[in-house]
Amino acid sequence: MTKWKFMCSTAFVALVAGNAALADVTPEQVWENWKSLSGSYGQTLTTTSEAREGDALVVKGIAVTSAQDGAEAVVSMDQLTLTDKGDGTVEMTMSDGSKVTIKTPASGEMAETTTHVSVLNPGMSVLVSGSPEEMRYDFTGPSVTIKLDGIEGGKDVPPDMKAEAVLTGLKGNYLVAGGDSKALSSNATLDGAAITIAGSNPEDGSKINAVVNVAGITAMSNSAILGDMANIAAALKAGARMDGSVAYQSASFDMTVTDQSGETKAQGTNAGGDLTFALDAAKLAYGGTAKDANFTISGGQIPFPQVNLAYKEGAFNLVAPVSKSDTPADFAFMMKLADLTISDEIWGMIDPTAQLPRDPMTVHLDTKGTVKLTTDLMDEAAMAALQGAPGELQSLNINALQVKLAGADVTGAGALTFDNTDMTTFGGAPAPTGTVNLKAVGLNGLLDKLMAMGLVPEDQMMGARMMLGMFAKVVEGEPDTMTSNIEFKDKHFFVNGMQLQ
């Protein structure tokens, strides 16, 4: 929760926007909008002075504080000037930088720490328009730099830690609407983001130096702020919600780790991807994609000059209910890694005589179903007191299943429902009803090669083939192809029509 509120605070510091014609807002109204938004997040905002100077409202000594569970984040800025442009719009100018101080209490073996961060935004241009009920902030800026100034704390804190993120070519808008409850939406583009991290481990003296670059970034978000956002479970029940997405055109990283074994280098690139997020009283959703990724690792204790990994597509998606209910709610889970290739050096360790096909590999699982929650997942107290699972699985659909590697390809699909009143028939799991169909192509050929390579002893292979014979049947006319129909019915278990339980 503290991390969420700190992110909101830093967003407050960089609050941006506006360029409208038929607008009518005053500097005082814009400042009240800022204060109201901060209060909506449960933050405390203080100033040393707020005074009119001609056409401008000048606010000095601004401090925004977020506190929870003993942790505290304070964002401070020397001055904010809100100037009436005479056409119903307000121009915002601010100090070229702000400071962020984060205090984290001691926990277990971790000592109390204080982290100092600088946020620099020279040349930021902000114009506010609209009305007191709905204000639009339009912004442009050459760059924003977020820099770690230092960490004070226990013995585990790196004494030479350096971290910096530079965002370039910012442009976008931020819309704030509503009174006691707030509706927010934003759209932004960035030419790029560059992140650098360097430091040493005080325990073993190892060092890390990493650079990450992301290009062509677009971002959007929508949210409704209601109730006390410090209590996220209560706020969600009151109607709070949020969703957003970030897409990028390309990304790369270059990392070097130096320890007693020498230097280990890791590099990677991809051709773009995205991340999405949504949260409301009904569900949590989180997903992402990446395409045409390549990774290279060398040095250190790696027994080869270089290791290469690559894949065409990577993706994941999670949708889950978050609130307890007497009725089942939908969930979904998907993960995919398509056309993964690894370098011949790795293959050589597994298969030195090159008996296995080295075709690209794929792992894909796509499921959906229903679950009935008995506990609010966002309620920290309820989750801490939880004994056992937070809910009951009601149904599961396997939309897609594929495992493809070394010349074998296993696919499947199915649908099951579950009886949570029967936890004994299947050894503590709810009794299922439904079917799962599987198909395997090239599996016998793979088993033959594994035995010929000596990776699986002959006696174990005999047991594996006996199990395979029980669960699969050969498809006539299709070389090395088997299918399996797995059925749960009337508290019994059938495979290809044969009852096994």
CA nearest to 179, candidates 128, 132, 136: 132
What would the pLDDT profile of 190-203 be if each residue is shown by its tens digit? 999 999 999 998 87
Residue type, 357: P
Arithmetic mean of pLDDT, 256-280 = 94
CA nearest to 117, candidates 168, 154, 163: 163
Inter-axis angle of helices 2-13 and 27-40, nearest 10: 170
Write out the two tokens for 400.
């897609």
Write out the two tokens for 176.
């704030």
What would the pLDDT profile of 32-62 be if each residue is shown by its tens digit? 998 988 888 888 999 999 999 999 999 999 9
Q: Look over the chain and give the mean of its residue pLDDT values, rounded to a whole number.
A: 89
pLDDT at 1: 39
Identify whether the C-beta of residue 245 lies closer than 8 Å to the C-beta of residue 219: yes
Inter-axis angle of helices 458-471 and 443-452, nearest 10: 170
What would the pLDDT profile of 293-319 be if each residue is shown by its tens digit? 999 999 877 877 889 999 999 999 999
Sequence-separated (6 or more) residues with CB below 8 Å from residue 83: 27, 55, 56, 90, 91, 92, 93
pLDDT at 157: 78
Confidence category of residue 215, pLDDT binned at 50, 70, 90: very high
∠ at Cα 128 (127, 130), nearest 5°?
140
Helix (H, G, I), strand (E, B) or coil at 489: strand
pLDDT at 6: 39
In this model, does residue 12 exceed pLDDT 70? no
Residue type, 18: G
Distance CA 177, CA 137 (A): 11
- Can you say whether residue 2 is alpha, beta or left, with left for phi > 0 and alpha for psi between -120 and 50 degrees? alpha
CA nearest to 341, candidates 295, 408, 402, 273: 295
∠ at Cα 282 (280, 284), nearest 5°?
60
What would the pLDDT profile of 67-81 be if each residue is shown by its tens digit? 888 899 999 999 999
What would the pLDDT profile of 121-147 be if each residue is shown by its tens digit? 998 989 999 999 999 999 999 999 999
Give the DSSP per-residue string, 284-334: EEEEEEEEEEEEEEEETT-SSS-EEEEEEEEEEEEEEE-S--SS-EEEEEE
The 10 Å Cβ neighbour count of residue 383 is 13
- Residue 406 φ then ψ, to 5°: 50, 40
DSSP-assigned beta bridge partners for residue 209: 198, 256
* More confident of the two residues 106 and 412: 412
In this model, does residue 273 exceed pLDDT 90? yes
> For residue 150, what is the DSSP state?
E
